[in-house]
Structure 1
Amino acid sequence: MRSTPELPIRVLTHNIRYATSSPFKGERPWAERRQLMLNELEYHTRHCRESFICLQEVLHNQLEDIRAGLNPARGSKNQQWAYIGVGRDDGHQAGEYSPIFYRPAVWELLRWETVWLSETPSKPSKSWDAASIRIVTIGVFTHRTSGDTVLALNTHLDDQGARSRLEAARIIRSKIQGYQRGQYGGFISGTFLAGDLNSQENQEAYADLTGSGDLRDTFKMVDTLRRYGNITTVTGFGYGDNPARIDYVLLGPEGNQKWRVDGYSVMPSRFEDGVFNSDHRAVVADLTLIG
């Protein structure tokens, strides 16, 4: 049972760009970007203990760097941050992760799973016109103080296959509906989907996820005067494709889920040092679960 009338939650999502050995024009190696990324994650979650960090394109060595950076007291039994997620290529450590980081002292993890966005969702695989294996990471978290339960999803859809993006969106909606009808459905207070959809507003995945009524875009739920920063979320390290908004925080359906969006921002990814910390910008949504 809820013990507080309102629960503030911050969701940060960022495609951090995998640690490639062949950098693009304008791209610096992960070793030069790593501390900048850690500084960003620490700064934007420092004053909201209920934060979730949702990342994409994370290789295992990057995952270990981020976990170590967020938990500087090595060996401590009470690590400040933990994560859920697996490498998409083998379900263990190979390939990119789409992890969700959370504070165990704040959130109790009830259940989590990785679902492959393919015709065989229980094992590493790709289908349709996908260029790469794609996954969604799903977790059910209960707030230790208020008792509110949140269904959290983090994904990175394919950058090449339009049909695979559409089918992936349908799988994600089906999973959300399944959780709503399942053992946790009676007490899920709020649902969010974060990630890089590789889909603009007029394209298939975004249209399916938001046009169905299952999810709503935090960008559109907040008063325009409360938005901060950029609108586009892709930088291309200063080169490449035209800027676009393809990174999102989407919120679950109405009904017993009562979200208020207090703030929305797309944060800078480069400062006076000239180093882009990624070819995407972080999206930060400040949310409140209300009774």
Structure 2
Amino acid sequence: MSILRVFGLLIALLFAQSAQGSDDSVLTVMTFNLRYGTADDGYNSWPNRDHLVMRVFRERDAQIIGVQEALAFQLNEITAEFPHYAVIGVGRDDGKNKGEYAAILYDTRRFAVDTSGTFWLSDTPEVVASTSWGNSITRICTWARLIDRDSGVALYVYNAHYDHRSQGSREKSSQLILDRIASRAHDDPVVLMGDFNAGESNPAITALLKNPELTHTYRSVHPDETTVGTFNGFDGTSDGEMIDHIFVSPGLKTIAADIDRTNDNARYPSDHFPVWASFKLR
């Protein structure tokens, strides 16, 4: 990494932190694929890295977090460590607590929930555990309308996990989510984030960016950066594509954004890097 790149990251981080400290209109959100906690990952199994996940949560101190692949026990561990977070979401296998969540965690000191839900990325989005479009694994999107306790400003948050194999599923998932955004009950700003299993040039992502409702937070700050891989396979690799994204309404001015490459002697919190963004909410 070049000296200029390091310097730029430090400036962005310091700016975001100072802005948060002086202006409570600044909001930080993060998307983080946790890697499901029962995976037989040996050295990288959940008990060997959960402390690093907690470190990311503690140091980033985001007010809204979208997690993917989370199992119920992982969410319980996180909220036990950070009781100011509440969880929105259900397990994808039964609509209750079985299987992976694409959960939204929000800081209850900052936000209240107006309404929320989960829909399945399929032709029958209200049918629990439904699959379509060539994906064999159930895929979901969790959403919520959150209201800032101090200002009363509301925003819609969507957290999705797209299929890793079916391109048709990814493209149709984007269209379904765009339809849901267009039909939301209130004309509030939008945050869409998640593990999209698709790089920036993938039609599933370009479809989102063609929509006037959405801008890419990372590219708003780093338009020319090329080291953007967010799947690291537990080895810190950054030379792939950015597949974890945060999009926001154009009215939410992004002031800082980056990929969090936290590690401890080359042990990583997950096989994905977290991605975060800070922007003005009002």
Normalising to structure 1: TM-score of the pair?
0.83
1:271 corresponds to? 264
2:73 corresponds to? 61
1:34 corresponds to? 50
CA-CA distance at 1:6 after TM superposition = 7.7
1:248 corresponds to? 245
1:133 corresponds to? 138
Runs of 4+ residues over 4 Å off in structure 1: 239-242
CA-CA distance at 1:118 after TM superposition = 0.2
CA-CA distance at 1:285 after TM superposition = 0.2
User: In structure 2, what is the Cα distance between the partners aligned to 1:19 and 1:242?
Assistant: 25
User: In structure 2, what is the Cα distance between the partners aligned to 1:236 and 1:8?
Assistant: 32
Q: Which sections of structure 2, spanning at least 5 residues, go unmatched?
A: 1-22
Match for 1:94: what amino acid? K
Q: Which sections of structure 1, spanning at least 5 residues, go unmatched?
A: 72-79
User: In structure 1, what is the Cα distance between the partners aligned to 2:203 and 2:92?
Assistant: 23
1:178 corresponds to? 183
Tell me, yes or no, if the aligned pair for 1:269 and 1:280 is still in contact at 8 Å: no
SS in 2 for 1:167: helix
Match for 1:110: what amino acid? D
2:255 corresponds to? 262
Paired-residue identity, %: 29
Match for 1:84: what amino acid? I
Match for 2:213: what amino acid? D
User: In structure 2, what is the Cα distance between the partners aligned to 1:68 and 1:102?
Assistant: 14
User: In structure 2, what is the Cα distance between the partners aligned to 1:270 and 1:230?
Assistant: 17
1:215 corresponds to? 214
SS in 2 for 1:238: coil
User: In structure 1, what is the Cα distance between the partners aligned to 2:204 and 2:132?
Assistant: 16
User: In structure 1, what is the Cα distance between the partners aligned to 2:223 and 2:132?
Assistant: 39
Residue range with higher mean Cα deviation, 211-220 or 276-285: 211-220
Please tell me the root mean square deviation across aligned C-alpha atoms, in Å. 2.2
Tell me, yes or no, if the aligned pair for 1:230 and 1:265 is still in contact at 8 Å: no
Normalising to structure 2: TM-score of the pair?
0.86
User: In structure 1, what is the Cα distance between the partners aligned to 2:110 and 2:274?
Assistant: 23
Match for 1:271: what amino acid? D
1:74 corresponds to? none
User: In structure 2, what is the Cα distance between the partners aligned to 1:206 and 1:87?
Assistant: 25
Tell me, yes or no, if the aligned pair for 1:52 and 1:101 is still in contact at 8 Å: yes
User: In structure 2, what is the Cα distance between the partners aligned to 1:134 and 1:240?
Assistant: 26
Q: What aligned pairs does 1:272-287 form with structure 2 within 5 A after superposition?
A: 272=265, 274-287=266-279
1:81 corresponds to? 85
Alpha-carbon distance change, 288 to 230 in structure 1, aligned in 2, over 3 angstroms: farther
Kindly provide the CA deviation profile for residues 103-134 of structure 1, in whole angstroms up to 9, marking residues without a partner as x.
22211100000010101100221101113100
Kindly provide the CA deviation profile for residues 219-249 of structure 1, in whole angstroms up to 9, marking residues without a partner as x.
2222559x8x952211112289962210011
